[in-house]
Homo-oligomer: A and B are copies of this chain.
Amino acid sequence: MEHYLTSVQKCCTLLKVFINGNKEWGVTDLSKELQWSKGAVHKMLSTLESEGFIKQNPQTKLYSLGYTLLELGNKVKHDDDWVSFSRSYLQQLAELTKESVCLCIRDHRDAIYVDKLDSPLPIRFIIDAYRRFPLYATSASRVILAFSPEEMWDAALEEPITAFTEQSLTDLSEIRSRLELIRSRGYEISSNMRNVGVTGIAAPIYQADGSVNASISLIGPSDRMEPNVDRWLSALLQMTKEMSRLVGYK
C-alpha cells in the first residue's frame, strides 16, 4: 500500500521542520526550506493554526508550534506502558546513586529517552530527553541495538554515522564489534562517546519473547561515576533482571 494522504504527509513534514530547526519561521523561509509555493505554505500554516497545532506571533507574524502539540506529547508519555512500568524503578535507582537515570526505548530506527530523572547534585548531567537520536549513539541505545536482530543493525548503520565527540565510534566494523561485546557481557559502559567527561551505564529490559526494545541507563560525570561503577552496575543489572522477569521474560 502506498496511497498515503499527500497533504497529511506534508503537514507532518512541515511540523517536523520545527523539531531540529528554528523555533520561529516565516512563510517565505518555510517556502524555501520545503520547496513549496508560498501560497501552499501559508494555507498549511493557517489550517494548523486554526487547530492549535501552530501559533502565530501577532507582532512579528512568525509561526511557531502550538500548545495542542504540548497536550499530545504529554499524552504520549502518560499513555506509555514502559514509562508507567519503569517510573518507580527509575526513582529507586536515582535515590541510590544520586545520578541522572533514564528509560530509553527504540522507535523504528531511532532511540528516545522517554522518561528521566536528573541528579539532585549541583554538578550533574542533565539528560536531553524526548528527542530522537541514532541507536548507535549512547550506551542506553547501543544496548537496545545490540540485542536487536541483525537487520536492525543494518538499518541503524545505514545512514551516515554522526560523531558527537572525538571518541565517538564512527567506523562501522568498530561499532559492530562494540555491539557484539555488549551482547556477550549483557550491559554497556562507555565514556566520552556522546558527551565529553560523561559516563553511561546501561542494561537492557528483556521482553517475554526475548526481544529488547527498552533499556535503563545511569548517566553522570565520569570522575564521580568511575569509583562507583561496580556498585551501580550490579544494582542496575539486578533491577533490569527483575523488570525483565515482570514483563514475562524467563
Which residues of A does B touch, CB under 8 Å?
1, 3-5, 7-9, 11-13, 15-16, 18-19, 23, 43-44, 46-48, 50-53, 55, 64-77, 79, 105, 107-108, 112, 114, 129-132
Contact = CB atoms under 8 A, between A and B. Distances in A.
Given A4-B50, A9-B47, A46-B4, A72 B15 contact: yes
Contact of A129 (B18, B74, B131): B74
A69 B76 contact: yes
**Interface secondary structure of A, over-half rule:** helix
A4 B69 contact: no
A131 to B, nearest CB: 6
A130 B130 CA distance: 15
B4 A70 contact: no
Contact of A53 (B12, B108, B130): B12
A39 B72 CA distance: 24
12 contacts: A1-B46, A5-B47, A8-B51, A9-B50, A12-B53, A16-B51, A18-B75, A19-B68, A67-B76, A69-B69, A70-B73, A74-B130
Contact of A65 (B16, B79, B114): B79
A24 B15 CA distance: 23
B69 A73 contact: yes
A53 B8 CA distance: 11
A73 B130 contact: yes
B8 A47 contact: yes
B53 A4 contact: no
Given A7-B7, A8-B11, A8-B44, A66 B70 contact: no
Nearest to A73: B73
Nearest to A13: B51
A220 to B, nearest CB: 22
B73 A43 contact: no
A83 B108 CA distance: 31
A110 B1 CA distance: 40
A143 B111 CA distance: 41
